[in-house]
Structure 1
Amino acid sequence: MSGEVKNINWIEEFDLLKCCVIIPTYNNEQTLVGVVEDVKAFTSNIIVVNDGSTDSTGQIIEGFVGVDVVSYSNNKGKGYAIRQGFKRALELGFHYAISLDSDGQHYAKDLPVFITNIKENPDSLLIGSRFMEGKDQPKSSGFANKFSNFWFRVETGINLPDTQSGYRLYPIKALEKKKWFCNKYEFEIEVIVRSAWKGIKVDCVPIDVYYPSQEERVTHFRPFKDFFRISVLNTILVLLAFLIYRPKLIFREFKGKSIKEIYNTHVRNSNETKGKIAAAIGFGVFMGIFPVWGYQLLIGFLLAHWFKLNKAIFFIAANISLPPMIPFILYLSYVTGSFLMGQGSWHVDTDLNIESISTNIKQYIYGAIGLSIIMGGLFFFFSYLILSLFKSSNRQNA
């Protein structure tokens, strides 16, 4: 730390930010006292959560002065302990909480890094990214971190260097109304993924880390059981990401914007090939007509993302189903269904509406599917043709 940082009164800074330190502990009698004493040099806002320890932790905690304690008899898991710490911190009026492991891995000297960064980025969730060079890191821990980083990127689109670190600053006030489901180690994955989905910025800050020798190391991570739990959670989160979060994120991006704004931002300067542009247009028209009313954009955005099509172009094209166009789409769908079912009639009642179509729902569904395929194909073909002619004309003029 620089001289300027050293001269800062960190106890006041913690109080001004309404920030505390939560230390979950389970059978860490050898290191707990040292961790708490180190933290006291920076803040007196300390909550120790005794997660059903069976060693002398209970007696050690009784000797703490000025430390808030949450304790229960049965071991529930790290996630449950952190959640109980959140609950107590909110009761005490704190807005932020820094979680710090009690095994001595984390250095209290890094607490100012979190405080400095949260002042610049309020209501963010900050993860302490561990400096691993020259450290005696277990191979399993390195693999687990890469595994976690990969799935976090899949689930949120955010690339972070260290999603496994337990040294974190949580914006607990911003997360106050969230309901959590995990109690074990997998909670640390759930909380960062669902925070990102909520729109909370998740970022990393640099910290140091201490890995004791193999003989001194104490870990409560159960390789098979806990890794299995984490794998199940990631499977669920990936499904939710592709079914709900990703489409929701795209909706949020386009919500309230005019088609002109979307075109200028996402299409005008696009480097897409003419085939990709035509495919996005054709697919947008297809989904705009396809008979899944109310879900066209939701399903379409998901598939456009899957097939790596320009979502803005898709969105503009899908607006073929705007209210003024709906009567024409219903009429053509009904007529197309008539021809597909062998009746071949262009006659439709003039009072055509959803209620009247419901009497011949099969004809409408067949027709809407057929019409969506025909129109999607036609728009793809003519878009590709026009784009080809336009680019050819530009080359000649150049």
Structure 2
Amino acid sequence: MQPNTLSTIHYCVIIPTYNNEKTLKRVLDKTLEFTSKIIVVNDGSTDSTTEILRNYPNISVIHQPQNRGKGMALRIGFKEALKQGFDYAITIDSDGQHFPEDIPLFLDEIEKNGEALLIGDRNMSQEGIPEKSSFGNRISTFWYWFETGIRLKDTQSGFRLYPIKRMQNFKYFTRKFEFEIEVIVKAAWAGIPVKNVPIQVLYDESERVSHFRPFKDFTRISLLNTWLVFIALLYIKPRDYFRTFKEKGFKRFFLEDLLHSEDSKEKKALSVALGVFIGLSPFWGFQTLIVLFLAFALRLNKLIAFAFSNVSIPPLIPFIIYASLKIGSFLLGKPALPPFQWDAFDSYKEFVSQHLSEYVVGSFSLAIISAVLFGLMSYLLLGIRTRKSMKMNSQS
């Protein structure tokens, strides 16, 4: 098989390496059977790596004077691949666990189904996979699903295909192993499909050199996931729900998500109630974050809950606050509130701060009452529609 005859896809292979002298030559020789477009990033190796690479004058080699981490090596490789004009980059670890023979699997997937970021699925349940790797992968796949909504079987494999041309404007902050999490999360947030491709894997502990440091690297990964979850809840998920709602419009949202989604009428009604409750509660600035978290925790319909949490749209806010103050004043047995000017923001803010207890009590009361009413009305309307649909089906 001649190199570069497998596919019309303009791709290269990036191999980051650090002190993998036992396996590097085998990986390079096998990869050369499929392509000569190889970029090796020697990340400050102190073994015989430099001498080995001298025997491959026809591949691109970038020597780093000191070790900067796998993530930084990949970033340098991406930059060089873009400089050389490639559209895609396949990354292979140099520790010998990957089989370059699987390169065609990635190319076939792109040719059949279009642009995507592909991650090799190592089948972590098979024999020979270290338990610590399998456990770490389960944790990683859970957080990836939470952050992106995409379910994968393997998120930690270094055998990947990246659509680097589509990703060239991404901003990265990590440099070590955690980079491989950051990049796939940001790809998903940018709308790039992220998928698994089944691959082979070899764990030969007599040859393989792992530079993963459990305590330091797990700490880095945990901090990164904490930050990504925060971004996902505070910005990405609200953005996506807003886009979905905007694209559908209220009529289509009402017909598809409220009436025709597969959720039960009880779940839909509770989602409406939750959205209204959070939307009217005094959680200004955090309503979206709270409603999405609670909808996830309670397994309710997140889009419905998010949509109804926007009941407190700007034109209605003065009336909601005024109603909350009146209700709070009544419940606390305080004197009737004096009128104030709605168009004078400073006096309005001062007025509310002077009656904070009435506002808090009143807003929670208004939120509870409204949530119950909206929830019940939704349940009744959905029940009526269900009965009508059943009646029409029975008649037909």
- TM bucket normalised to smaller: 0.7 to 0.9
8 Å Cα contact 1:10/1:112 also seen in 2: no
Match in the other structure for 2:47 = 55
Give the letter aligned to residue 371 of structure 1.
L
Q: 1: distance between equivalents of 2:147 and 2:35? A: 35
User: CA deviation digits over 1:316-340, x for unaligned, max 9?
Assistant: 5445445665564354234334434
Correspondence for 2:323: 332
- Once the two structures are TM-superposed, the CA of residue 360 in structure 1 deviates from its matched residue by 0.9
Residue in 1 aligned with 2:351?
Answer: 360
Which of 89, 96, 100 pairs up with 1:97? Answer: 89
Identity of aligned residues (%): 47
> In structure 2, what is the Cα distance between the partners aligned to 1:374 and 1:354?
29
1:211 aligns with 2:206: no
- Supply the distance in 1 between the matched residues of 2:105 and 2:201 (Cα, whole angstroms): 14
Task: State whether residues 259 and 316 of structure 1, in contact with CA within 8 Å, keep that contact through their aligned partners in structure 2.
Answer: no
RMSD: 3.3
Q: Does 1:153 align with 2:145?
A: yes
Equivalent position SS for 1:216: coil
How many Å apart are 1:75 and its aligned residue? 1.3
Q: 2:179 aligns with which of 166, 187, 190?
A: 187
For residue 11 of structure 1, the aligned residue among 4, 27, 47 is: 4
The equivalent residue for 1:307 is 298
What does the per-residue CA deviation read over 1:275-310, in whole Å, with 9 as the maximum and x for residues that have no partner?
Answer: 433333333333333345566445433433333222
- SS of the equivalent of 1:43 reads coil
- 2:373 counterpart residue number: 378
Change (3 A) 1:305 1:354: farther
Query: Any idea what SS the aligned residue of 1:255 has?
Result: helix
The residue number in structure 1 matching 2:212 is: 221
The equivalent of 1:129 in structure 2 is 121
Q: Which SS does the other structure have where 1:98 is aligned? A: strand
Tell me, what secondary structure is at the counterpart of 2:369? helix
Secondary structure of 2:251's counterpart equals helix
Aligned-partner Cα distance in 2 for 1:316–1:137: 44
**What letter corresponds to residue 112 of structure 2 in structure 1?**
E
Q: CA deviation at 1:311?
A: 3.3
Q: Does 1:262 align with 2:253?
A: yes
Alpha-carbon displacement from aligned partner over 1:91-139 (angstroms, at most 9, x marks no partner): 1111211101122222221111111112234331101112568763333
Q: Which residue identity lines up with residue 163 of structure 1 in the other structure?
A: T
**Alignment-mate amino acid for residue 167 of structure 2:** L
Matched-pair contact (CA < 8 Å) for 2:15–2:38 = yes
SS in 1 for 2:39: strand
Distance 1:359 1:391 in 2: 49
The question of whether the paired residues in 1 share the 8 Å contact of 2:6 and 2:104 is answered with no
- Work out whether residues 280 and 311 of structure 1, in 8 Å CA contact, stay in contact via their aligned partners in 2: yes
1:287 is matched with which residue?
278
Match of 2:28 in 1: 36
1:373 alignment partner AA? I
Distance 1:309 1:354, change over 3 A: farther
The one of 225, 235, 239 equivalent to 1:234 is: 225
Q: Which moved more, 1:69-78 or 1:241-250?
A: 241-250
**Quick check: 154-163 or 201-210, which moved more?**
154-163
Q: Report the AA paired with residue 11 of structure 1.
A: N
Q: How many angstroms apart in 2 are the aligned matches of 1:394 and 1:62?
A: 74
Conserved 8 A contact 1:96-1:171: yes
Q: 1:150 to 1:370 in 2, by over 3 A?
A: closer
* Contact 2:295/2:302 (8 A) holds in 1: yes
Alpha-carbon distance change, 140 to 388 in structure 1, aligned in 2, over 3 angstroms: closer
Q: Does the aligned pair in 2 maintain the 1:288–1:321 contact within 8 Å?
A: yes
Structure-1 residue corresponding to 2:101:
109
In structure 2, distance between residues paired with 1:52 and 1:187: 18
CA–CA separation in structure 2 for the residues paired with 1:265 and 1:388: 16
Counterpart selection for 2:76 from 71, 79, 84: 84
Letter in 1 for 2:330: F
Task: Say which SS state the counterpart of residue 97 (structure 1) adopts.
Answer: strand
Assess if the C-alpha contact under 8 Å between 2:178 and 2:220 holds in 1: yes
Which SS does the other structure have where 1:50 is aligned? strand
Q: Secondary structure at the match of 2:40?
A: strand
Q: Any unmatched runs of 5+ in structure 2?
A: none
TM superposition score normalised by structure 1: 0.84
Tell me what 1:171 maps to: 163
Amino acid at match of 1:378: L
Which stretch of the first structure deviates more once superposed, 16-25 or 218-227? 218-227
Give 3-state SS (helix, strand or coil) of 1:153's partner.
helix
**CA shift in 2, pair 1:152/1:396, >3 Å:** closer
Q: How many residues align?
A: 388
Give yes or no for contact 2:3–2:34 (8 Å, CA) kept in 1: yes
Once the 2 structures are TM-superposed, how far is the Cα of residue 382 of structure 1 from its aligned partner? Answer: 4.9
Q: Which residue identity does 1:261 align to in structure 2? A: R
